[in-house]
Amino acid sequence: MHLPQFYDAGALIAVLTTQPLGRALDYRAPEGGCLLGAFVEVPLGPRKVLGVVWGPGKGDYDLAKVRATYRVLDAPPMREELRCFLERAADYTLTPMPAMLRLATRAPGLGDPPSMRKVYRRGPKEPEKMTAARKKVLAALSEYGDLSFTLKELAEAAGVGTSVVKGLVAQGAVLEEDSPRDLPFPRLDPERPGKDLTPEQAVGAAQLADAARAEQYGTTLLRGVTGSGKTEVYLEAVAGALRAGRQALVLLPEIALTAEFLTRVEERFGAQPAEWHSGATMTERRRIWRMVAQGDAQLVIGARSSLFLPFRNLGLIVVDEEHDTSYKQEEGVLYNARDMAVLRASICGAHVVLASATPSLESWVNAEAGKYKKLELTSRFGPAVMPEMRSLDMRDESLPSNRWISGAMRRAVDARLAAGEQAMLFINRRGYAPITLCRACGHQIGCDHCDARMVEHRFLKRLVCHQCGESKPMPSICPSCDAEDRLAPVGPGVERLAEEAVELFPDARIATLSSDMYGSARALKAEIEAIAEGAADIIIGTQLVAKGHNFPKLTLVGVIDADLGLQGSDLRAAERTFQLMRQVAGRAGRAEKPGTALLQTYQPEHPVIRAILAGDEERFWAAEAREREAAGAPPYGRMAGIILSGSDVAQVFDAGNRLARQDESMRQIGAQVFGPAPAPIARVRGRHRVRLLVKAAKSAPVQAAIARWIAQVPLKGDLRIAVDIDPQSFY
Ligand code: ADP
Ligand code: ZN
């Protein structure tokens, strides 16, 4: 094994900080020296900032002025693999290194010495006088054995006040001890028996477990209809990694999905994994960050940002629902977690499992081309079969205005209610109504800061801008013509659909699931669990419900507007609609009873709608791939979006025109530049937005050329340039 580079005290070192400086700065190594990758604290102007020792100093700064590193922090040094990953990810996404480092240090106080807390356990003595309350405390302690309680936890477990515990401490019947706050995670046991797998599942599980054990990069696309047991199969890959003494990471697209997954991990491995997400407390984050670095967290499940954790020995990354658009971070550092997972794995010699019932075209093409291994589960587990899918031709319906549930849909729901089963009505639109129109003057209420309509959210009693999040109370007077009480909602959102359902099905218990109706991820999780257990007869939901949840009693899925996603000019409109519809439909009939999915549509002859109903996925993908290839579009060609924004509209356009004129570096690589054009949403948060689009051949060195190209535009005032490599959305 080769030893990591060490710098003696006083040696010139380069330290990368999270401050937006563009490059690593020179410092002197601290007293006692430091390792390459060490987390350090360095002076920057009058401040102390966090940094990582990135290599030898450049020596191009006045040596007399080079300052000394304050101290090395008490954290495992950043490993070469992670440093390399951050650099390559920065190059790929054209992100400055400090911003990359920020992603990798999102744990507070990560260099502080482990803090301690008081814990309580049974002491050697008996209390002088036994009371009922004291008895309860001692009983709680003997019941839970070695579990270390905090004061509050112990008092709660015993159902007494904290003073009772303190009294027992004074008498030596209970011991108070210091214990480190950041505890290792309980060990997961891969040797516990898993579920009996079907032959098809077993073959896949063995293949993945072998791949996860091999210390070698590879990617497998695990395809299988919803309910085929993909999770069961990739848990065996996790077991393989754990057996080899390596760590595993499972990325889930939606925090609400984790509850069910945690339970399954516990059933399989006897303990819960570490859970990394934006809702985690600072203490939890710190603990996970540390334990991951020490190798004392074997399995992490998390959102996309968990890719930047300092794993000690990462052997497996699973990206569940790999096609999900939420893997693309659309603000700050623009990266796609699926692609970055493959990058990190290729650097650290880990295996990647991309799991989906409806893979992205990118992954499908990579698998077809042999870059990824393919693994397929063809049938649902047990008696469950794929739902029957049918379209409901809305041209035949004469629904009264402001009604969206057709007669046929209504009868289908009634039948499920009568049978004691669950039905789901799906609409991919949050809020009450997408448009608020003045019936006197025709004005539509828009956002003051964005070129977007405000969406009424009746639940919140406000109008909300889905672009910037700005909201205002619902007015009673038209802001344009002052007419009173003439504002009317137009079109349905999930809340309005729920209102219609309440009228049509007065005796049913109706639950509405939309991300903005729950204060916390926890509340949402609880609601989803309750529904899964049968607390509702009808579930009304947005795309939140399309993802992975298991509702065993659900036998009907009704899509209110299957055409909604097909209207956009988005390059991926067909792919997205296909995935979403198949995904939603997959919610139905996951247990013994077969399910049905009904799609309300005005264009039942549309090729995408027909492909969805036919369920011929191979044919759909092949056709979609041919179209993209003919157009030179991704994944056959490269694209990048350049988004210029600023408060001065003339300046923003000037910069855009300048880029369009001075495009030699792009022409050199044979790339085409389109635009500048006002972005579809031309103003967000008061900033005007202009887009350029770059199209290039797949092998063209796009990033380097773009870096040279955009460097020509001086960023005056508040003008900003964002580069979106492989854009997923074009707003
Ligand atoms: P997917 O991830 O493909 O949607 P899951 O892994 O969630 O599928 O499996 C669907 C359901 O079937 C789950 O409730 C799961 O526990 C169950 N299941 C799948 N395979 C098995 C098996 N071999 N033995 C027992 N239950 C299984
Ligand atoms: Zn807005």
Using one digit for the tens of pLDDT, what is the confidence trace for 74-90?
889 999 999 999 999 99
Kindly report which listed range (75-79, 593-597, 599-603, 646-650) carries the lowest average pLDDT score: 593-597
Tokens of 159: 């159902």
Instruction: Name residue 47's beta-bridge partners.
Output: 44
**Could you give the C-alpha distances from 154 to 122, 130, 135, 184, 283, in angstroms and in order?**
11, 18, 13, 21, 20
Q: Vertex 649, ends 644 and 655: CA angle to 5°? A: 45
Residue 475 CB coordination number (10 Å): 13
* The pLDDT of residue 145: 62
Average pLDDT over residues 427-449: 91
**620, 611 Cβ separation under 8 angstroms:** yes
State the closest ligand 1 atom to the C-alpha of 384, by its place in the atom list counted from 1.
12
Q: How far, in Å, from the CA of 688 to the mean position of ligand 2?
A: 12
Q: Is the pLDDT of residue 581 over 90?
A: no
Q: Which residue has the tokens 């797949």?
A: 698
pLDDT in tens, 136-148: 998 888 876 656 6
Q: Is the pLDDT of residue 478 over 70?
A: yes
Burial 325-340 (b: 16+ CB within 10 A, else e): bbbbbeeebbbbbbbb
Q: Which ligand is nearest to the CA of 355?
A: 1
Q: Which ligand is nearest to the CA of 551?
A: 1
Q: How far, in Å, from the CA of 470 to the mean position of ligand 2?
A: 5
Q: How far, in Å, from the CA of 195 to the mean position of ligand 1?
A: 9
Cβ-proximal residues to 413 (8 Å cutoff; 6+ apart), any chain: 405, 423, 425, 504, 505, 538, 556, 558
Tell me the average pLDDT of the chain. 89
**639, 673 Cβ separation under 8 angstroms:** no
Tokens of 120: 């309580």
Average pLDDT over residues 310-318: 97
Between 79 and 107, name the one with better pLDDT.
Answer: 79
Q: How far, in Å, from the CA of 674 to the mean position of ligand 2?
A: 26
State the closest ligand 1 atom to the C-alpha of 548, by its place in the atom list counted from 1.
4
**468, 684 Cβ separation under 8 angstroms:** yes
* The pLDDT of residue 714: 85
Q: Which ligand is nearest to the CA of 384?
A: 1
Distance CA 250, CA 231 (A): 10
Q: Is the pLDDT of residue 22 over 90?
A: no
**98, 300 Cβ separation under 8 angstroms:** no
User: Phi/psi of residue 649, each to 5°?
Assistant: -65, -40
% the chain with pLDDT above 90? 59
* The pLDDT of residue 339: 96
Q: Which residue has the tokens 């204060």?
A: 519
* The pLDDT of residue 151: 86
Cβ-proximal residues to 400 (8 Å cutoff; 6+ apart), any chain: none
Q: Of 556, 440, 425, give the one whose Cα is nearest residue 492.
A: 425
Q: How far, in Å, from the CA of 223 to the mean position of ligand 1?
A: 14
Distance CA 118, CA 178 (A): 5
State the closest ligand 1 atom to the C-alpha of 226, by its place in the atom list counted from 1.
4
Q: How far, in Å, from the CA of 452 to the mean position of ligand 2?
A: 6
Residue 567 CB coordination number (10 Å): 10
Q: Which residue has the tokens 């359902």?
A: 501
pLDDT in tens, 148-171: 677 887 888 888 999 999 999 999
> E strands, 519-559, where?
538-541, 554-559
Relative to beta strand 351-356, strand 471-473 is unpaired
Cβ-proximal residues to 654 (8 Å cutoff; 6+ apart), any chain: none
Q: Is the pLDDT of residue 507 over 60?
A: yes
Which one of 231, 267, 533 would you pick to mutate in the ligand 1 pocket, going by the greatest count of ligand atoms within 8 A of its CB? 231
pLDDT-derived band of residue 321, with 50, 70 and 90 as boundaries? very high
Residue nearest to ligand 1 atom 11, measured at CA: 227
Q: Which ligand is nearest to the CA of 683?
A: 2
Q: Is the pLDDT of residue 519 over 70?
A: no
% the chain with pLDDT above 70? 96
Q: How far, in Å, from the CA of 104 to the mean position of ligand 2?
A: 31
State the closest ligand 1 atom to the C-alpha of 552, by its place in the atom list counted from 1.
14
Q: Of 136, 330, 353, give the one whose Cα is nearest residue 239.
A: 353
* The pLDDT of residue 134: 92
pLDDT in tens, 214-236: 889 999 999 998 788 999 999 99
Tokens of 18: 């999270």
Residue nearest to ligand 1 atom 10, measured at CA: 227
Burial 80-118 (b: 16+ CB within 10 A, else e): ebbbebbebbbebbbbebbebbbbbbbbeebbeeeeeee
State the closest ligand 1 atom to the C-alpha of 377, by its place in the atom list counted from 1.
3
Q: Is the pLDDT of residue 1 over 60?
A: no
Kindly report which listed range (62-76, 189-203, 458-472, 629-643) carries the lowest average pLDDT score: 458-472
* The pLDDT of residue 113: 66
Tokens of 143: 């019941």
Instruction: Name residue 28's beta-bridge partners.
Output: 12, 68
pLDDT in tens, 36-93: 999 999 999 899 999 999 999 998 888 888 999 999 998 899 999 999 999 999 999 9
**487, 439 Cβ separation under 8 angstroms:** yes
State the closest ligand 1 atom to the C-alpha of 197, by its place in the atom list counted from 1.
23
Residue nearest to ligand 1 atom 9, measured at CA: 229
Average pLDDT over residues 245-271: 88
Between 583 and 652, name the one with better pLDDT.
Answer: 652
The set of protein residues with a Cβ atom below 6 angstroms from ligand 1 is 195-198, 201, 224, 226-232, 381, 550
Average pLDDT over residues 531-552: 85
pLDDT in tens, 480-489: 999 999 999 9
Distance of CA 203 to the CA centre of its chain: 30
* The pLDDT of residue 677: 87
pLDDT-derived band of residue 584, with 50, 70 and 90 as boundaries? confident
Average pLDDT over residues 709-721: 90
* The pLDDT of residue 694: 93
Q: Of 623, 592, 245, give the one whose Cα is nearest residue 421.
A: 592
Kindly report which listed range (19-33, 154-168, 539-553) carries the lowest average pLDDT score: 539-553
CA torsion, ordered 565, 567, 572, 577, to nearest 10 deg: 30
pTM of the full structure: 0.83
| Burial of 610 from C-beta contacts in 10 A (0-12 / 13-18 / 19+) | middle
pLDDT in tens, 361-403: 999 999 999 999 999 998 877 776 778 899 999 998 888 889 9
* The pLDDT of residue 323: 92
Which one of 226, 232, 233, 375 would you pick to mutate in the ligand 1 pocket, going by the greatest count of ligand atoms within 8 A of its CB? 232
Q: How far, in Å, from the CA of 561 to the mean position of ligand 2?
A: 25
Between 168 and 283, name the one with better pLDDT.
Answer: 168
As a residue count, the chain comes to 731
Residue nearest to ligand 1 atom 20, measured at CA: 229
* 3-state SS, residue 433: strand
Cβ-proximal residues to 570 (8 Å cutoff; 6+ apart), any chain: 576, 729, 730
pLDDT-derived band of residue 242, with 50, 70 and 90 as boundaries? very high
Distance CA 607, CA 600 (A): 15
Instruction: Name residue 638's beta-bridge partners.
Output: 696
Q: How far, in Å, from the CA of 718 to the mean position of ligand 2?
A: 19
Distance CA 644, CA 515 (A): 30
Between 110 and 568, name the one with better pLDDT.
Answer: 110
Tokens of 245: 């003494």
Q: How far, in Å, from the CA of 228 to the mean position of ligand 1?
A: 6
